[in-house]
Amino acid sequence: MNNIFENKDNKKTDYIKRFVEKDAAVEQVYSPMDPPGAYKPQGIEPVPYEYLHPVMQLFMNEHKTTLAQTDQLEQTLIQIKTEGISREKNKKLGEFFAYLDDKIVLHNLKEERILFPFIHDRMIDNGEHGTGPIPDTAVDMLENDHIKIMELSTLVFSLMGITSRITDPVSRAVLMDTAVEQGLSLVELLRLHIFREDNVVFPLAHKYLTEGDYEKISNKMKKYFSIELLVKAQ
18 found inside a domain: no
| pTM of the model as a whole | 0.82
Q: How many domains does the chain have?
A: 1
Helix, strand or coil, per DSSP, at residue 13: strand
Ranges of beta strands (E only) in the chain are: 6-7, 10-14
184 found inside a domain: yes
16 found inside a domain: no
38 found inside a domain: no
Kindly give the confidence (pLDDT) of every residue in the chain, 234 residues in length, as a single tens digit, with 9 standing for 90 and above: 344 334 444 443 333 344 344 344 434 433 333 455 677 766 688 899 999 999 999 999 999 999 999 999 999 999 999 999 999 999 999 999 999 999 999 999 999 999 999 999 999 999 999 998 999 999 999 999 999 999 999 999 999 999 989 999 999 999 999 999 999 999 999 999 999 999 999 999 999 999 999 999 999 999 999 999 865 544
CATH of the domain at 155: 1.20.120.520
228 found inside a domain: no
Chain centre distance of CA 224: 22
End-to-end CA distance of the chain: 21
3 found inside a domain: no
Cα 208 to Cα 104, 181, 214: the distances in Å are: 26, 39, 11
Task: Quote the domain boundaries for residue 164.
Answer: 60-209
Q: Could you tell me the sign of the dihedral formed by the alpha carbons of 26, 28, 29, 31, in that order?
A: negative
141 found inside a domain: yes
26 found inside a domain: no
DSSP letters of 71-135? HHHHHHHHHHHHH---HHHHHHHHHHHHHIIIIIHHHHHHIIIIIHHHHHHHHHHTT-S-SSSS-
